[in-house]
Structure 1
Amino acid sequence: MPAKRPNRIYQLKITLRGAKPPIWRRVLVPSDLALDVLHEVIQIAMGWTDSHLHHFLANGRVYGIPDDKFGFEFDLKDEAEVKLMDLLRKEKDSMRYDYDFGDGWEHQILVEKVLPFDETQTLPLCIKGKRACPPEDCGGIWGYAQLLRTLADPSDPEHQDMLEWVGGQIDPEAFDLDDTNEALSALRPTGWPASRGPDHNADHEGTGRA
């Protein structure tokens, strides 16, 4: 039996909370994307390395990877069993994605648009973004701001050490859309539609704009 096609395409804006100037990405994903794959989309689109724990927060619930070692999240629901459209149903709906509980990177995931499904659209796809992702383990929003000040000031006593730690000067304004989408292409066999071409026999109800 052919797999059911997703009802919609969601245009999401992923914003790193507290970053000034803002750091964000705009992506297109299928509405039926499982949260574990959305996690991968966020990691790639933002520029993280998936080296730390994460979870989603929506409607008072926590979604992530269940692990008995982390008793403080005993009520955590398996993210692989939840789809994006289960939590976000219409434009302006949002949820939170936390990454690296030590540095405390918080992201807002906002539904900007709910679009009709288009079987010709390559998904997931990043269509725009602003500013570079902070380096991992730099101390969160405050630590990143301090790192940029240190790197910009050769007279700072920590300048050389920080320069070596990050591997040379970094450009906080840098964002390469083509590189991001090349990396996202690795997810397309997992996401829609590459892994399971469209069901041409399915009806087209619900493909209009929400």
Structure 2
Amino acid sequence: MSAPKSIYQIKVTLNDSKPPIWRRVLVEDKTTLSKLHTILQTVMGWTDSHLHHFIINDEFYGEPDDDEFSGIETKNEKRYRLNQFVKRKGFKFIYEYDFGDSWEHIVHVEAILPVEKGRQYPVCLEGKRACPLEDIGGVWGYDDFLKALADPKHPEHDDMVEELGEDFDPEFFDIEDVNLGLRNYAARARMTKK
């Protein structure tokens, strides 16, 4: 496989999250959409337990077997690379994860940068707030959950604390843990090339 020609600085924001839940990441221009899915799962903190797709220029890209569930013609994400779509900074597209909860992420290409020799990609530069819990009912379910967690008088407060423990902090984002996950991903990807 050829070396990347450039690096994309992308900002991934969970749509409708207030305050925003987001990550800023550097990825190679030659990254396939399939690999980008894994990168996004890692940086956001999802568990890859549900279906997903990308919506780019009004076309759907994902795992082709998903067609029977969604009824939408889906192009094989393994066959498409970011550099086939991204021609300028400012380009945006959608990554949707878990069609039941409908976690819609806006992926915004903030910059197109030169490759830094010796730097490992992908890498997370920064982010804000914890990833929502899986199967919580989407952005609105997560908002209801946070209200219950914050209010000791809420009828569901005690159940939430018992389920999660008292240490859950919706403001916490562990960039070191995220980058460890990305390094592990990159190491696995290198092993599969051999």
* TM-score of the pair, normalised by structure 1: 0.86
CA distance in 1, matches of 2:187, 2:31: 12
Q: Which residue number in structure 2 is paired with residue 166 of structure 1?
A: 164
- Of 80, 83, 86, the residue aligned with 1:82 is 80
Q: Which residue number in structure 1 is paired with residue 71 of structure 2?
A: 72
Report the AA paired with residue 87 of structure 2: R
CA drift at 1:190: 5.5
Q: Which residue number in structure 2 is paired with residue 63 of structure 1?
A: 61
CA distance in 1, matches of 2:44, 2:95: 12
Q: Which residue number in structure 2 is paired with residue 110 of structure 1?
A: 108
**What does residue range 172-191 of structure 1 map to in structure 2 within 5 Å?**
172-189=170-187
Q: Which residue number in structure 2 is paired with residue 147 of structure 1?
A: 145
**What does residue range 126-145 of structure 1 map to in structure 2 within 5 Å?**
126-145=124-143
Change (3 A) 1:190 1:102: same
Q: Which residue number in structure 2 is paired with residue 8 of structure 1?
A: 6
Greater relative contact order (Cα 8 A, min sep 6): structure 1 or 2?
1
Report the AA paired with residue 30 of structure 1: E
CA drift at 1:5: 1.4
Q: Which residue number in structure 1 is paired with residue 21 of structure 2?
A: 23
- Report the structure, 1 or 2, having the larger helix content: 2
1:48 partnered with 2:51: no
CA distance in 2, matches of 1:176, 1:12: 18
Change (3 A) 1:187 1:91: same
Report the AA paired with residue 4 of structure 1: S
Q: Which residue number in structure 2 is paired with residue 204 of structure 1?
A: none
Q: Which residue number in structure 2 is paired with residue 208 of structure 1?
A: none
CA distance in 2, matches of 1:191, 1:123: 11
SS of 2:71's equivalent in the other structure is: helix
CA distance in 2, matches of 1:59, 1:37: 19
CA distance in 1, matches of 2:136, 2:99: 13
Report the AA paired with residue 8 of structure 2: Y
CA drift at 1:71: 5.7
8 Å CA contact retained: 1:124, 1:191: no
Q: Which residue number in structure 2 is paired with residue 201 of structure 1?
A: none
CA drift at 1:93: 0.3
SS of 2:60's equivalent in the other structure is: strand
Report the AA paired with residue 178 of structure 1: E
CA drift at 1:163: 2.2
CA drift at 1:189: 3.3
Cα RMSD (Å)? 1.7
Q: Name which one, 1 or 2, has greater alpha-carbon Rg.
A: 1
Deviation beyond 4 Å, 4+ runs, structure 1: none
Report the AA paired with residue 45 of structure 1: V
- Of 116, 122, 125, the residue aligned with 1:124 is 122
